A and B are shown apart, each in its own frame.
Chain A
């Protein structure tokens, strides 16, 4: 827990300063999670604000402060899912989407080491986004929370309020689909 129970209780009693502290404590983590869940950097802050907005208006429904973090994650997942449902498309920021001038500028600056690192990171992001396209939005979010955010099955159980075995089955199936796409991608690319 990044905040103590007392702070949560104060925020539940509409203490703005306490709520501010909670936002400041969790802001970076939530922004990071949303960045990976929605894969559209320009909308990350907007979705994060929606999460904290929902938190503000539903904090009084939280009965036990012990489940605050899974609850906040649940709000985050729901907000990300709502956003993705509205968008119905994934980030596909490829060279073909850039204007001719942007392509020329990208080519001109793609020589330095930093640029190479950025290109490598971009390639990783694109690969994972493409692989996760093999599963549904809901499974994509579930896989990301487990494999990338590193949440345990117990934590996921609290977030989703679903039996651990059901989660295991769902994760296994989603991972199998991604693995299949991963294998197919590897074969398509060939050795080299």
Chain B
């Protein structure tokens, strides 16, 4: 049920509608609007061009990095052009001096010498 105040408020809103009529646009409205559209378009165009350049540079860098990582490189202690195949071989190649002397074929143990 709508009360008396509701009706008065509706009347006030109606009066507000009449008190704020639709204004006419100024003569500059359309030229200014198109100038703003052009300006935004120019900005978007340069932004898009910059983004494209950035994407191209990023792709080129990724390809270069990929190529660099896939090229086989020689490590010290291995024959150039060959790569160690197992973990033990990699360790042996990396630490050649760590091999214990006891297993060296040039060493003899004299058990009678006391």
Which A residues lie at the B interface, using CB under 8 A? 20, 23-24, 27-29, 31-32, 35-36, 41, 44-45, 48-49, 52-53, 56-57, 120-122, 124-125, 127-128, 131, 147-148, 150, 175, 178-179, 182-183, 186
Other than A36-B20, A49-B29, give 11 A-B pairs with Cβ distance below 8 A. A24-B30, A31-B25, A32-B23, A45-B29, A52-B33, A57-B40, A57-B44, A125-B16, A128-B12, A148-B16, A175-B9
Where chain A touches its partner, the secondary structure class is: helix
Q: Are A49 and B21 in contact (CB under 8 A)?
A: no
Q: Are A45 and B26 in contact (CB under 8 A)?
A: yes
4 cross-chain pairs, A with B, having the tightest CB-CB distances, nearest first:
A32-B22, A121-B19, A128-B16, A147-B13
Count of chain B residues with Cβ under 8 Å from any Cβ of A? 27
A28: contacting residue among B17, B22, B26, B37, CB under 8 A: B22
Residues of A within 8 A of B89 (CB): none
Ordered by A's residue number, 6 sampled pairs between the chains whose C-beta atoms are within 8 Å are A36-B16, A49-B33, A53-B33, A57-B44, A124-B12, A150-B17
Q: Which of B1-56 contact A (CB under 8 A)?
A: 5-6, 8-10, 12-13, 15-26, 29-30, 32-33, 36-37, 40, 44
Q: Are B17 and A148 in contact (CB under 8 A)?
A: yes
Where chain B touches its partner, the secondary structure class is: helix
